[in-house]
Amino acid sequence: MEKSAASTEPQGPRPVLGRDSVQVPDDQDFRSFRYECEAEAGWNLTYSKAGVSVWVQAMEMDRTLHKIKCRMECRDVPAETLYDVLHDIEYRRKWDSNVIETFDIARLTVNADVGYYSWRCPKPLKNRDVITLRSWLPMGTDYIIMNYSVKHPKYPPRKDLVRAVSIQTGYLIQSTGPKSCVITYLAQVDPKGSLPKWVVNKSSQFLAPKAMKKMYKACVKYPEWKQKHRPHFKPWLHPEQSPLPSLALSELSVQHADSLENIDESAVAESREERAGGAGGEGSDDDTSLT
């Protein structure tokens, strides 16, 4: 599996959610995700500064569907450290100030699980949450983590949050040396609502770059933190360590966006706190869609 995912030529993008049933991504899905992370055609560069670049994809047919790609050069951070940081849910609760609640629900295979994540949106928008099937694959010195939305019978949409839909979201981590790497974050998310233009602009121009930089700082501090917090516990590398209960795929179903309530927030104005503080609002430290 590892060899074929790394060596076979990409066949072009294939959305994980182009299916009617829940499936764990296969080699072609990982190749497709990598292909899209590296693609340039159809992407518009909106930000490039200090080793961080952001692109957005114009989707005129459906303005509520947002596609964003961020890339960051990480000096002094090995690829394996960044991979660990993205997996370590206990550490995420420490560095991701945008998180409201996050936890793993169940294990599907040795490299796939189901989890819950809720996050703060820029004020005064309603906060969002998501249930995702997440899968991961090491490819030599590179790594991919990606997810898409599913429905779990025990975790229906909540009244106090808007259930968003991850069509396909994930990370490509590429090693560039023993102590350096490049990370590409690709997100195609339906936020379930018509978002105001200021949110879309702020996400690409400010929130996404700030989130990437925050992630970088978390990576620098991770080795020291991990030494004090179960240093040998890494179930993403050692699946036999996983405490999660097993779950059959048949218990899950695909979360289609059209089955959820649509929230129209297109006319919502940016709060005074957000405008004055830039990053000062409680929910504006990070990209609101980093899941």
Kindly report, residue by residue over 209-227, the tens digit of the pLDDT: 888 999 999 999 999 999 9
In terms of Cα–Cα distance, which of 145, 5, 33, 2 is closest to 85?
145
CA angle 4, 166, 129 (to 5 degrees): 135
Tell me how far apart the 2 most distant CA atoms of the chain are, in Å.
52
Per-residue CA distances from 19 to 247, 250, 263 (Å): 20, 14, 25
- Six-digit token string for 192: 């379930």
Query: Residue 236 and residue 254: Cα distance in Å, rounded?
Result: 24
CA angle 254, 260, 266 (to 5 degrees): 130
- pLDDT tens for each residue of 125-184: 789 899 999 999 999 899 999 999 999 999 999 989 988 888 889 999 999 999 999 999
Rounded to a whole number of angstroms, the CA Rg of the chain reads: 18
Q: Identify the three-state secondary structure at position 220.
A: helix
Under 8 Å between Cβ of 99 and 116: no
What are the phi and psi torsion angles at 137 (to 5°)? Answer: -155, 115
- Six-digit token string for 212: 């990437």
- pLDDT tens for each residue of 177-211: 999 999 999 988 776 666 666 666 666 677 788 88
Q: Are strands 193-194 and 263-264 parallel, antiparallel or unpaired?
A: parallel
* Predicted TM-score (pTM) of this structure: 0.82
Which residue matches tokens 């960044």? 82
- pLDDT tens for each residue of 99-113: 999 999 999 999 999
Q: How many CB atoms lie within 10 A of CB 237?
A: 14
Q: Where are the alpha helices (DSSP H) in 39-134?
A: 79-87, 89-95
For residue 26, the 8-state DSSP code is -
